[in-house]
Amino acid sequence: MRPRLNGDKEKWQRLIDAVKKIGIDNVVDAMDEAGSDWALRLTKQTRDKEGNVISEVYSRQNSTDTPTEGMRLKRLSKAPNGGEWRIYEASGNMALAYTELVNELSLQARPFPPAKIPDTLQEGYCLMPMLTDHHFGKIAFGYKGDSWSLDEARQVWQSAIDYYLYKAANLPIAQILLPIGNDLLHTNSDTNTTKRGTPMEVSESFGSLYKYVREVVVAGILSLAEVAPVQVVMVPGNHDEDAVLRLGDYLEGLFSNHPVIQINNKQYRRKYFKFGETGMGFTHGEKVKPRDLHGAFSNDMPSIFSSVKYRYFFVGHLHKNASAKLSIYNERRDEYMGTQVEICPSLCPTDKWHFDHNFTGNQRSSKAYLFCPEKGRVAEWYFNL
């Protein structure tokens, strides 16, 4: 949309000449830094029969339009040509939402009722959903118009868990192992940076992001606990190391008296779990090479290492399902002296940094593993987008 040039034409001509001289991108950046009126402009608004606004679409233009009160962000996307789109939807009755929130929190504050696990499930398989590098708060970027609002990320997260429970519905599940972290959040703190201080583009303030993710994780854990006892393993990432430790501390307090939920929030970059003849290790993967994880396993946990027949190490970080050569790692999926190393994929879309460095095109997916107490890993399932 081309704006009208109202006012002194000579002044506008000087402005146009200046823009041509220094480049439009530099002008936009300068206007952003100066806090100008170059903002999101309302381009489409949908109303119901009563005239109430139910959705709005904004594009980045020179305007002072802001979302209507009571609207919440539904989709957020950026494109390489500089475009930015935001779609808002009505947030509903705020008074009713507040009442529902108070009721929900009051229910969580009560002691958890004992969870009765049927005798038929006391012996069976271990199910492990592996949702790595979910990056809640990331802003999608690319030609495909992908979006990754908090609600969209939550829907994908829960859909993956529901799918894995569906796949295991007719199997005797004795244990559920749920690694949490691995860059679950896009930023580490309210500085909107990673642990090492790298600035990140985020869709929400850290306080809002953390609270949102906390509720997503709690809901996921409780849904899994209806099937079998749940062991949660907190795995710090390079984006969210401190945030994951904080989240794990919250989960420890929340579930401290729960009969079938346990939280492993020990302050170690590598954590381990034993199920029957299987030993499993977890780390994000940015600080250690896969070929060294066999030695780390034997040195960190000799009691588990020496007592199992099958050993696995699970890492994330690369946002891809690994099964061939890669420059960073000698192997992406390999076996080192009997310890199998798995680099697990991600469901989140590409952001601007990955797009600029051409780290694009990976299949958006997650995996779940099924372990037999006597035979080790016997199945793996994919949830793909």
pLDDT tens, residue by residue, 133-142:
888 999 888 7
- CA quadruple 169, 172, 174, 177: dihedral sign: negative
- Predicted confidence at residue 323, as pLDDT, reads 39
Instruction: Record the tokens describing residue 354, joined without a space.
Output: 């990955």
Contact 220, 255 (CB under 8 A): no
Amino acid identity for residue 25 in this structure: D
* 15 Cβ neighbours under 8 A, 6+ residues apart: none
- Predicted confidence at residue 378, as pLDDT, reads 94
Which span out of 17-26, 84-93, 252-261 was modeled with the highest average pLDDT?
252-261
Beta strand 278-282 with 271-275 is antiparallel
Instruction: Record the tokens describing residue 151, joined without a space.
Output: 């609600």
Instruction: Give me the count of residues in the chain.
Output: 385
Distance CA 138, CA 212 (A): 14
Proportion of the chain above pLDDT 90, given as a percent: 36
Proportion of the chain above pLDDT 70, given as a percent: 65
Contact 59, 41 (CB under 8 A): yes
Distance CA 83, CA 104 (A): 39
Tell me if the pTM is above 0.75.
no
Quick one: how far is CA 36 from the chain centroid? 32
- Predicted confidence at residue 36, as pLDDT, reads 46
- Predicted confidence at residue 84, as pLDDT, reads 61
Distance CA 135, CA 205 (A): 14
Instruction: Round the average pLDDT of the chain to a whole number and report it.
Output: 77
Q: How many CB atoms lie within 10 A of CB 4?
A: 5
**Of the given ranges (27-36, 154-163, 293-302, 324-333), which has the lowest mean pLDDT?**
324-333
- Predicted confidence at residue 279, as pLDDT, reads 94
Domains belonging to the chain, first-starting first, are 9-90 (no CATH), 120-384 (3.60.21.10)
Interval 251-282: pLDDT, tens: 999 999 999 999 999 988 899 999 999 999 99
Paired with 85 in beta bridges are 59, 77
Confidence of residue 326 (pLDDT cuts 50, 70, 90): very low
Q: How many CB atoms lie within 10 A of CB 202?
A: 20
- Predicted confidence at residue 325, as pLDDT, reads 33
At 304 the three-state DSSP class reads helix
The yes-or-no verdict on residue 126 having pLDDT over 70 is yes
